[in-house]
Amino acid sequence: MQPVTVITGTMAPLYRADVDTDQIMPKQFLKRVERTGFGQFVFHDWREDPDFVLNDQRYASATVLVTGPNFGSGSSREHAPWGLQQHGFEAIIAPSFADIFKTNCAKNGLLTVELDDDHIRELVALAHADPAAQIRIDLPEQTVESAAGVARFDIDAHTKHMLVAGLDPIGLTLQHQTRIGEFEARRLAHRPTTA
């Protein structure tokens, strides 16, 4: 995975609550067996509305999506973060994220930033007023800088480390193979197998 450190660019404002993964990546696009090619389908049904923000060319190259609370609720489909990332987003800023979605983003190097609602509304207003307004997210420093000011965000130390170093989590875990083997040796006898 590519390391994630500093993200710069412009914002796409989509202030809606509870945006679910069915909207981010509708089910008809989950039939692909590849990991790529999802960018064009992101928010497919909403994009039929000509006024939808991503149809506005001024937001077409935004790298940061600024959105409402509980973003990514619903299904565990990783196709949702794949689509957002392949569309060109490098970070999503929201007051809160759904748990599975947030984990899926971290595994793909798509940064999720939680900020308080007041600051997000300022960012949304800024992006509406000036689509070219710049934003800078510094993951090592845990800051978001824009004309709306500087805001600090929290992120758990493990996720931050994995992102900044661009580590392969499976490779890391395989270093613990001995411990896993020891655990397996002491598992309860009545646990079933699928064989």
Partner 1 sequence: MSGPRSLLEKVWDQHVVTAEAGGDPALLYVDLHLLHEVTSPQAFDGLRLAGRGVRRPDLTLATMDHNVPTTDPSVPVDDELSAKQMRVLADNCAEFGIPLLPRGSANQGIVHMVGPELGLTQPGMTVVCGDSHTATHGAFGALAFGIGTSEIEHVLATQTLWQAKPKTMAVEIEGRAPFGVTAKDLILAVIAEIGVSGGAGHVIEYRGEAVASLSMEGRMTVCNMSIEGGARAGMIAPDETTFAWLEGRPHAPGAHADGSASFDAAVEAWRELPTDAGATFDRVVRLNAATFQPTVTWGTTPGQSVPVSGRVPRPEHTGDAEQARRALTYMGLDGGEAITDIPIDRVFLGSCTNARLSDLRAAARVVTGRRVADNVRAMVVPGSTLVKAQAEAEGLDRVFTEAGFEWRQAGCSMCLGMNPDVLAPGERCASTSNRNFEGRQGKGGRTHLVSPEMAAAAALAGHFVDVRDDPRAGDATEARDTRGA
Residues lying near partner 1 in the complex (CB under 8 A) are found at: 16-18, 20, 22-23, 26-28, 30-35, 45, 69-70, 73-78, 81, 96, 98-100, 103-104, 107-108, 156-158, 161, 169-170, 173-174, 176-177, 179-180, 183-184, 187-195
Q: How far is the CB of 134 from partner 1 (least distance, A)?
A: 28
How many angstroms separate the CA atoms of 188 and 182, rounded?
13
Residue 132 near residue 10 (C-beta atoms within 8 A): yes
- In angstroms, what is the minimal distance from the CB of 8 to partner 1? 26
**Is the CB of 21 or the CB of 146 nearer to partner 1?**
21
Contacts with 96 (C-beta within 8 Å, 6 or more apart), sequence order? 69, 70, 71, 114
Q: Nearest distance from residue 106's CB to partner 1, in Å?
A: 9
CB of 117 to partner 1, least distance (A): 12
Which of 132, 185 has the CB closer to partner 1? 185
Contacts of residue 78, defined as CB under 8 A and 6 or more positions apart, other chains included, come to 104, 107, 108
In 98-193, beta strands by DSSP E: 111-114, 134-138, 143-146, 149-152
Sequence-distant (6+) residues with CB within 8 A of 116 are: 95, 151
- Residue number, 31 or 152, with CB nearest to partner 1: 31
Q: Which of 95, 136, 137, 139 is nearest to 119 (CA)?
A: 95
Toward partner 1, which CB reaches closer, 13 or 69? Answer: 69
- Closest approach, Cβ 96 to partner 1, in A, equals 6
List residues bridging with 15 in a β-sheet: none
The residue among 152 and 191 lying less far from partner 1, judged by its C-beta, is: 191
